[in-house]
């Protein structure tokens, strides 16, 4: 088992990184994860494992990450502040590191009222925790790792080896604060960033210019978020309902008029990857194909991002 | 002030079907200000209860009284004769008032007639807003008078999550994003950069997480 993060090696070697996403099943179903692992193996450097995303109960990100690891895929374990206080979080970080998990993405978490955007019941009556926020979570894991110190001041016997990352919504409101918000996460210890999905590349490029002005692109590896469009309806829904995401009308129209929507979605995705790759300071992509993970290998191939640097070779 | 909201009359009436002498007791301070439990609401609640109980086949008498406050022993004492004469009291005071009434009149049942919802103020006629979470360690000056613990749905300490759109919170299009308000105010004051400093994890032991709280002022303690 590798003792260092493969994602970290790929980034340090200067490769353009590729991460994907694996949503854990809504059941105690290891087989579902193994099936996804078989589809995705070899096409990304690491795979995000969501933590009860949209506030719907799924297999825990720590367990699902361990299953992926056993399948030979490197997980990026997501951890949200909604469900755990600092005691539980630090305990889970130690456990995850002991299991060989080497990447953690620190998030605030979707509010419990979400319930899969109304598609499921969820648990809107749940009590949220928010003992700490995502910026504080970053600093807590950094101090566990670098100082062997818990947040309360006690020491840990073996520090967790963990690459830590954060999310960034570059085009979210209030827009004037977004680069400052990124700077706060970098100051708290973020080593990589995965952005909210980008459809307006030129506006994202403007934000990246501000990022470069602050020199943040040299302190943190920014991976641009790419969502694979499946239909015009999906894009309209995202445009209307997902905070921080605006989809240009031309793109919606293009998907609307496509005779082969799947093919058009793949083309759009590859174009978006090429466009964000050209922006200075973008050091990788985070590709999400929601409920369509099987498309990722083809996308990565068409974007000419294969083969991925083999584990252990990059350094 | 403490802001409360009337309970559904059926929820209260269902608890009263076995009593003959019912007292609806109002409180003339906070809950009167927020139109949930003052003298006027006592009259409305009492007449609604009379109807609701008649529909349930009950012949109970419903009396009315309003204390200046149900959270001070001297003022509770002023309504003691009416309380003593009743089998049960529906208190329209906040939870503090209901608890004090239990302490004074135990074992007489005191049933809450309102839900105590938050510490806040009247933003405009008909709208009350939560402003303070009583966390026990006030740092509201850092966020220009807008408390993110009370007003952000996630009580975030270091700026808005990705769910802020056009100044509104993604959990409710009617809800202002607290961080949007903070950022706009600090921008107008040319002090946005003060938010660059990271706020460390909070010590919640001063809040309810530290257990029930006490305030002792030594000079006056008996």
Task: Spell out the domain ranges in chain B.
Answer: 2-117, 133-200
Q: What pLDDT was estimated at residue A115?
A: 77
Tell whether the model's pLDDT for residue A311 goes beyond 80: no
Q: Which candidate from A86, A131, A188 shows the least CB-CB separation from B198?
A: A188
pLDDT tens per residue, range B136-148: 999 999 999 999 9
How far B184 CA sits from the closest chain A CA (Å)?
8
Tell whether the model's pLDDT for residue A3 goes beyond 90: no
Are the Cβ atoms of B201 and A184 closer than 8 angstroms?
A: no
Q: Is the dihedral of CA B55, B61, B66, B69 positive or negative?
A: negative
Closest chain B residue to A179, measured at CA? B196
CATH architecture of B2-117: 3-Layer(aba) Sandwich (3.40)
How far apart, in Å, do the first and last CA atoms of chain A sit? 16
Are the Cβ atoms of B163 and A184 closer than 8 angstroms?
A: no
Helix A261-277 × helix A201-213 angle, to 10°: 20
Q: With bands split at pLDDT 50, 70 and 90, how would you rate the model's confidence at B222?
A: low
Q: Which one of A153, A183, A189, A243 would you mutate to disrupt binding with B, by most B Cβ within 10 Å of its Cβ?
A: A243
Which residues in chain B have Cβ-Cβ distances shorter than 8 Å to A133? 154-158
pLDDT tens per residue, range B158-182: 999 999 999 999 999 999 999 999 9
pLDDT tens per residue, range A233-261: 999 999 998 999 999 999 999 999 999 99
Q: Which one of A140, A166, A171, A173 would you mutate to disrupt binding with B, by most B Cβ within 10 Å of its Cβ?
A: A173
Tell whether the model's pLDDT for residue B42 goes beyond 80: yes
Tell whether the model's pLDDT for residue A313 goes beyond 50: no
**What does the domain layout of chain A look like in residue ranges?**
6-302
Rounded CA gap, B163 and B150, in Å? 17
Q: Which candidate from B164, B170, B193 shows the least CB-CB separation from A174?
A: B164
Q: Which one of B151, B154, B204 would you mutate to disrupt binding with A, by most A Cβ within 10 Å of its Cβ?
A: B154
Are the Cβ atoms of A174 and B193 closer than 8 angstroms?
A: no
Q: Which one of A55, A177, A180, A216 would you mutate to disrupt binding with B, by most B Cβ within 10 Å of its Cβ?
A: A177
Structure tokens that stand for A226 in this block: 């790419």
Q: What pLDDT was estimated at residue B134?
A: 97
For every residue of B88-151, DSSP letters joined together read EEEE-S-HHHHHHHHHHHTTS-EEE-EEEEEEEEEEETTEEEEEE---SS--GGGGTT--HHHH
Rounded CA gap, B161 and B122, in Å? 27
Are the Cβ atoms of A184 and B198 closer than 8 angstroms?
A: yes
Which residues in chain A have Cβ-Cβ distances shorter than 8 Å to B171? 111, 113-114
Q: Which candidate from B156, B167, B201 shows the least CB-CB separation from A86?
A: B201
Q: Average pLDDT of chain A?
A: 95
Nearest alpha carbon to residue A170 among A122, A216, A232, A103: A216
In the CATH scheme, what is the code of domain A6-302?
3.20.20.220
pLDDT tens per residue, range A176-221: 999 999 999 999 999 999 999 999 999 999 999 999 999 999 999 9
Which residues in chain A have Cβ-Cβ distances shorter than 8 Å to B196? 180, 183-184, 187
Q: How many CB pairs under 8 A join A and B?
A: 105
Identify the residue with better confidence: A114 or A31: A31
Which residues in chain B have Cβ-Cβ distances shorter than 8 Å to A53? none
Q: With bands split at pLDDT 50, 70 and 90, how would you rate the model's confidence at B150?
A: very high
DSSP secondary structure letter of residue A52: S
How do B168-169 and B164-165 pair as beta strands?
antiparallel
Q: What pLDDT was estimated at residue A1?
A: 39
pLDDT tens per residue, range B210-220: 999 999 998 88
Structure tokens that stand for B98 in this block: 């209901």
Q: Could you tell me where the DSSP H helices lie in A99-128?
A: none
Q: Is the dihedral of CA A290, A294, A295, A299 positive or negative?
A: positive
pLDDT tens per residue, range A72-116: 999 999 999 999 999 999 999 999 999 999 999 999 999 999 877
């Amino acid at each position: 088992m590798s003792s260092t993060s493969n994602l970290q090696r790929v980034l340090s070697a200067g490769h353009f990184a590729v991460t994907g996403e694996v949503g854990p099943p809504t059941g105690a179903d290891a087989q579902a994860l193994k099936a996804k692992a078989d589809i995705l193996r070899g096409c990304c450097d690491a795979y995000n494992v969501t933590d009860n995303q949209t506030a719907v109960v799924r297999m825990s990100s720590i367990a699902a990450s361990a299953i992926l690891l056993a399948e030979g895929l490197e997980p990026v374990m997501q951890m949200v502040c909604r469900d755990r206080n600092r005691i539980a979080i630090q305990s889970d970080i130690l456990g995850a590191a002991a299991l060989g998990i080497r990447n953690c993405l620190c998030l605030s978490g979707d509010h419990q009222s979400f319930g899969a955007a109304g598609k499921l019941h969820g648990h809107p009556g749940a009590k949220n925790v928010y003992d700490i926020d995502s910026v504080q979570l970053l600093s807590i894991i950094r101090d566990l790792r670098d100082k062997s110190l818990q947040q309360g001041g006690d020491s840990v016997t073996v520090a967790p080896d963990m690459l830590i990352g954060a999310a960034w919504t570059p085009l979210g409101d209030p827009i004037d604060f977004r680069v400052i918000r990124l700077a706060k996460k970098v100051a708290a210890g973020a080593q990589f960033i995965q952005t909210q999905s980008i459809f307006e590349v030129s506006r994202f490029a403007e934000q990246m210019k501000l990022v470069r002005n602050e020199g943040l692109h040299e302190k943190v590896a920014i991976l641009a978020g790419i969502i694979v469009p499946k239909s015009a309806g999906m894009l309209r829904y995202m445009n209307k309902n997902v905070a921080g995401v605006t989809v240009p009308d031309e793109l919606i129209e293009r998907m609307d008029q496509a005779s082969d929507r799947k093919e058009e979605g793949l083309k759009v995705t590859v174009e978006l990857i090429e466009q964000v790759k050209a922006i200075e300071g973008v050091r990788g992509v985070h590709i999400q194909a929601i409920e369509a993970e099987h498309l990722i290998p083809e996308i990565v191939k068409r974007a000419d991002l294969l083969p991925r640097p083999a584990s252990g070779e990059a350094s | 002030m403490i802001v409360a909201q009337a309970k559904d009359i059926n929820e209260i009436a269902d608890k009263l079907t076995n009593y003959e002498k019912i007292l609806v007791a109002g409180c003339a301070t906070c809950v009167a200000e927020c139109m949930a439990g003052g003298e006027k609401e006592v009259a409305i609640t009492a007449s609604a209860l009379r109807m609701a109980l008649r529909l349930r086949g009950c012949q109970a008498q419903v009396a009315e009284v309003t204390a200046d406050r149900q959270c001070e022993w001297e003022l509770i004492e002023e309504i003691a004769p009416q309380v003593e004469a009743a089998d049960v009291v529906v208190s329209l005071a906040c939870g503090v008032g209901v608890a004090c009434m239990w302490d004074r009149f135990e074992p007489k049942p005191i049933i809450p007639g309102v839900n105590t919802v938050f510490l806040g103020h009247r933003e405009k006629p008909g709208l009350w807003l939560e402003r303070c979470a009583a966390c026990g360690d006030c740092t509201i000056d850092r966020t220009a008078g807008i408390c993110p613990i009370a007003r952000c749905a996630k009580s975030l300490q270091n700026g808005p999550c990705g769910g802020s759109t056009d100044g509104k919170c993604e959990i409710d299009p009617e809800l202002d994003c607290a961080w949007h308000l903070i950022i706009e105010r600090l921008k107008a004051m040319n002090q946005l950069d003060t938010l660059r400093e990271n706020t460390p994890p909070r010590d919640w032991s001063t809040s309810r997480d530290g257990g029930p709280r006490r305030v002792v002022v030594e000079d006056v303690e008996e």
